Amino acid sequence: MSAKEYDVIIVGGGVTGAATVRDCALRGLSTLLIERGDICDGASGRNHGLLHSGARYAVTDREGAEECIRENRILRRIASNCVEQTEGLFISLPEDGLDYQANFIKKCREAGISAEAIDPKEALRMEPAINPNIIGAVKVPDASVDPFRLVDAHILDAQRHGADILKFTAVTELVKEGGRVVGVKTSKGDIIRAREVVLAAGIWTAGLAQAAGVKIGMMPSKGALIIYGHRVAKMVINRCRKPANADILVPGDVVSVLGTTSDKVPVETCDDMHATPEEVNLLMREGEQLVPCLAQTRIIRAYAGVRPLVVADPAGDGRNVSRGIVLLDHETRDGIPGLITITGGKLTTARLMAEMATDLICEKLGSSARCETANKPLPGSEGRVPRFKDPFNMRAAIGRHGTEVSRMDFVKGGEILCECEHVTRAEIAYAVKQFGVRNISDLRRHTRIGMGTCQGSYCIQKVAEALAEELGDSSRAGEFVREYLQERWKGMTPVLWGDTLREAEYMHKVYKNEI
C-alpha cells in the first residue's frame, strides 16, 4: 500500500497516456502514469508514423480533418526533432478519375488544409518513383513523425515536471470505495490511490473499465504494414480516392512504410499482433499501384497494430467507425465518479486528446490551471542545438534528439555501433539512464538500433555487448542477441522471399551456431 495519494493516475503509456501525463504535470497536478510494458509498446509504436495533415479525412470527417491540421502545425513547432517536414502528395490513377480530386481539394480548403493541384508531369518530376500513369496530384502538408521519439519526449517532459512513470507494471483492477474509483491495484500487489483515474490504454481500456462495472463498446481494428529498406519517395504518397487498403506510403528515417489494412479482430488477439502472408500480398498488390518500384524493393519487415476504435455501429470493417476522439466522464455517464476514459483519436491528435482529458480532470479537481502543451516545446526541441567541434559521429544523434544531445556523452560514447542509422554508444547510455531500458527490444524503441537497412544483422553482437556493459552485466550479451534475432525473425517471416530470404540464410549461417 502506497502512502502517497496522487491527484491523477493515468493507465497506459502510449501516445495518449504520455501526452496526458505531460499535460497534467505541466498544470501542476501530482500525476502517476502506469504502463504494463514499455512506453510506446502497443499501437503507438505500430503505425505508419504519419503526421496527418487531415487531408485523408477532409471528405468524410470535417471535424477530424480540422483537428489534424491544427495539431499538425502544433507538433511541427513543439516536436521539431520528431517531425520530418516531408509534405504529402495525393495522386489520382486513371481508375480513380478526377471527380474525387475536385471534391477533395474543395473539402481540404474548407477544413483549412492547403491543397494545391499539381500537374502530373510536375508531380512525377518531384517524385519520380510514383506510378507514371497518374492523371492528377494534390500537394498537402502531411509529414512524417517518429512515434517512439514523440512519446519519449512527452514522458521526459512529464518527469521533468514532477510526474512519476511506473513501467512494466500492469493495473489489475480499479479500486472502488462507496461507488467511487479511488485508485488502482497493480500486478505487484500495491494499491495506489488517486483523486482521478484516467484510462488511456487503447484497446485494452475496455477490459479494465468492464471490471469496474463500466461498459465501453470498443472494436479492435487491425492494421498491417510493410517496411521497405529504402526511401523510395521523399514525400508521403497517398491515393486520392475514398480511403482504402494500402494507399499510404510514408518515408521515415532511412526506410519507407506502406500501409495499411483495416480488419475487425477479436480482442484476445490484440496482445500478439503480426502481419499475415495474405495481408502482405494485399499490401504489395495495392502498394505497387502507388509506387511501382516497390515490387523490386527489399522488404525488411511486416508488422501490425490495432486501432482502439469506439463502436457506434458494431457491423462493418472499422473504416467507417468513429476515429474521432472519445472522452468519457464516467461520473455523468455511468454514475461512477473518479474515473475518466480518453480513447479513439489518432497519433496526430494525441496532444488535443490530452488537453480535453486534462481540462475535465482539472474541472473535477477544482483546478483552474490552463493548458500550455500547445506552446511549450518538448525536450529535444527546446531552442538551439549545442554546437560540437567534430559533429560527424553525432550528426544523426543531433537530428534525432535535438537539444537532448547535451545530455549525452560523446567523448566517452562517440563510437557508432549501428552503422545503418549511425546510432552511437552515447545514445545507448542515454536510453538506459533516461528510459530504464532493460533489453534490446526496449532499446529499439528508444534508439533506432537495428531499424535500418541491415536490421541489426551486422551490428547486433556489438550492440548487445555495449548494452550489457551499460547495464553492468556483460554476461547478458548472448541473451540479448538471441532475443533480438527472434524478434527480427517475427518481422521477416511474413515476407520471406527474394532478398529477405537471402538475408535469412545469412543470419542463420552467421548466428545460429553462435547462439
Partner 1 sequence: MKFDVIIIGGGWAGCTEAEKLAEAGSKVCVISEGLSLASVRYETPYSRHAGLQKAGVTVLRGDRAERGIIEDGKVTGVITRNLGEGEPLTADRYVLATGKFFSRGLLSDKEHIWEPVFGADVDYDPDRTKWFSQDFEADQPFMKFGVKTDAKGHVLVDGKSIVNLTAVGDICNE
Binding site for partner 1 (CB under 8 A): 277, 281, 284, 482, 485-486, 488-490, 493, 496-498, 501-506, 508-510, 512, 515
CB of 277 to partner 1, least distance (A): 6
Angstrom CA distances, 494 to 49, 206, 225, 275, 276, stand at 21, 30, 11, 7, 6
Cell numbers at 245, concatenated: 487498403
**CB-nearer residue toward partner 1: 4 or 508:** 508
**CB-nearer residue toward partner 1: 392 or 489:** 489
CB of 230 to partner 1, least distance (A): 19
CB of 259 to partner 1, least distance (A): 18
CB of 462 to partner 1, least distance (A): 16
**CB-nearer residue toward partner 1: 392 or 506:** 506
**CB-nearer residue toward partner 1: 211 or 501:** 501
Among residues 15, 2, 135, 19, which one has the least CA distance to residue 371? 19
Q: How many CB atoms lie within 10 A of CB 390?
A: 8
End-to-end CA distance of the chain: 43
Alpha helices in 343-422 (DSSP H): 350-365, 395-401
Angstrom CA distances, 30 to 10, 350, 354, 491, stand at 11, 21, 16, 40
**CB-nearer residue toward partner 1: 102 or 295:** 295
Q: CB under 8 Å to 482, separation ≥6 — which residues?
A: 515
CB of 245 to partner 1, least distance (A): 18
User: Is residue 240 a contact partner of residue 139, using CB atoms and an 8 Å limit?
Assistant: no
Cell numbers at 23, concatenated: 499535460
CB of 481 to partner 1, least distance (A): 11
Opening angle at CA 144, ends 447 and 245, nearest 5: 110
Q: Dihedrals φ, ψ of 363, to 5°? A: -60, -45
**CB-nearer residue toward partner 1: 243 or 478:** 478
| H or E element at residue 150 | helix 147-160
**CB-nearer residue toward partner 1: 160 or 508:** 508
CB of 453 to partner 1, least distance (A): 16
CB of 296 to partner 1, least distance (A): 11
Q: How far apart are CA 180 and CA 196, in angstroms?
A: 10
CB of 124 to partner 1, least distance (A): 28
Pairing state of beta strands 143-145 and 83-84? antiparallel
**CB-nearer residue toward partner 1: 161 or 488:** 488
**CB-nearer residue toward partner 1: 23 or 503:** 503
Question: How much is the CA Rg of the chain, to the nearest whole Å?
Answer: 23
Q: CB under 8 Å to 98, separation ≥6 — which residues?
A: 92, 135, 136
